[in-house]
A and B are shown apart, each in its own frame.
Chain A
Amino acid sequence: MAGRASVEMVFEMPAELEELSKLAEAVEGFVEENGLPAKLGFQLNLVLDELLTNTISYGCADGAQCRLEVRLRLRGDKKKGEVVLVIEDDAAPFNPLDVPPPDLDKPLEEREVGGLGVHLVRATMDTIDYERDGGLNRLTLRKKLES
């Protein structure tokens, strides 16, 4: 299948936490159909869970009617290619890259209990780009597939 351009999954959802389990199933289906490792499915779902939970809980609070769109694309060969995740929403402007990294070296009694979500996203993906485009937040996240 070398030279194959790309396969893509598009998932649109209202801003409700209950929708996340449907998205997770769709991502697992995509991973399975394309012969990608199950670990990648776990990681992509973690990234989506963390980012969309933030958007739904904070960006779309106050009863705003937000729409979220997730595009998951496999580019190139499944051994040497990459996955590209694009998340768009019409919630309040929010750049998760502005969230300061947690201090992981503090002793237990001083560790803060929050702030790990975006950290997990950064640690999992290779690159993350944010842009505000018109009324949309758009995050593009890439991860190279390990052979």
Chain B
Amino acid sequence: MELKETNEGDVAVLAPVGRIDSSNAKQFEEALLGRLTTTEGGVLVDLSELQYISSAGLRVVLLAAKQQQQKGRKFALCSPSPEILEVFEVSGFNKIIDIHQQKNDALAKF
């Protein structure tokens, strides 16, 4: 599981690549939450290269959203595939986390 990073102004854009399931969710947790402890600003998780996510990965996304909220920092998701968007919606994440179809739209809200 790779977590790519780019910076757009003071927003860290983190893009998990491939699949996140119970076999590698711990790695994703260490990579994402580890990055949150060193960032000063907002975080956008770009899902465009993510092919699959199970509840083990959803847990990590929720932990990240909570941590950013506690620090008063913005957190959003962008560019999910239709299948992955459905997983987020069924889990009710669209009610508590900003999810944008387009990366540019997401960045405009930071």
Genuine A/B complex: yes
A contact residues vs B (CB 8 Å cutoff): 17-18, 20-21, 39, 42-43, 45-46, 49-50, 53, 57, 102, 104-105, 107-109, 111, 113-114, 116-117, 119-120, 123-124
B contact residues vs A (CB 8 Å cutoff): 21-23, 52, 54-56, 58-59, 62-63, 65-66, 69-70, 82-83, 87, 90-92, 95-97
Contact check: which of B52, B56, B90 meets A42 at CB < 8 Å? B52
Q: Are the C-beta atoms of B83 and A42 separated by less than 8 Å?
A: yes
Residue of A nearest to B81 (CB): A42
In the complex the two chains form, what is the Cα distance from A18 to B21 in whole Å?
11
Q: Are the C-beta atoms of A21 and B23 separated by less than 8 Å?
A: yes
Residue of B nearest to A43 (CB): B83
Q: Are the C-beta atoms of A120 and B69 separated by less than 8 Å?
A: no
CB contact under 8 A between A120 and B97, given known A18-B23, A49-B54, A53-B54: no
Q: Are the C-beta atoms of B59 and A108 separated by less than 8 Å?
A: no
Chain A residues contacting B55 (CB-CB under 8 Å) are: 50, 114, 116-117, 119-120
In the complex the two chains form, what is the Cα distance from A102 to B96 in whole Å?
14
CB contact under 8 A between A119 and B23, given known A42-B52, A45-B52: no
Q: Are the C-beta atoms of A108 and B65 separated by less than 8 Å?
A: yes
Q: Are the C-beta atoms of A20 and B23 separated by less than 8 Å?
A: yes
Q: Are the C-beta atoms of A104 and B95 separated by less than 8 Å?
A: yes
Residue of B nearest to A39 (CB): B83
Chain B residues contacting A49 (CB-CB under 8 Å) are: 21-22, 54
CB contact under 8 A between A50 and B96, given known A57-B22, A120-B90: no
Chain A residues contacting B58 (CB-CB under 8 Å) are: 116
Chain B residues contacting A42 (CB-CB under 8 Å) are: 52, 83
In the complex the two chains form, what is the Cα distance from A111 to B54 in whole Å?
17
Chain B residues contacting A53 (CB-CB under 8 Å) are: 21-22, 54, 56
9 cross-chain CB contacts under 8 A: A17-B23, A20-B21, A45-B52, A46-B52, A108-B96, A109-B70, A116-B55, A120-B54, A123-B90
Q: Are the C-beta atoms of A108 and B22 separated by less than 8 Å?
A: no
In the complex the two chains form, what is the Cα distance from A39 to B106 in whole Å?
26
Residue of B nearest to A106 (CB): B96
Chain B residues contacting A18 (CB-CB under 8 Å) are: 23
Chain A residues contacting B23 (CB-CB under 8 Å) are: 17-18, 20-21
Q: Are the C-beta atoms of B95 and A105 separated by less than 8 Å?
A: yes
Residue of A nearest to B94 (CB): A104
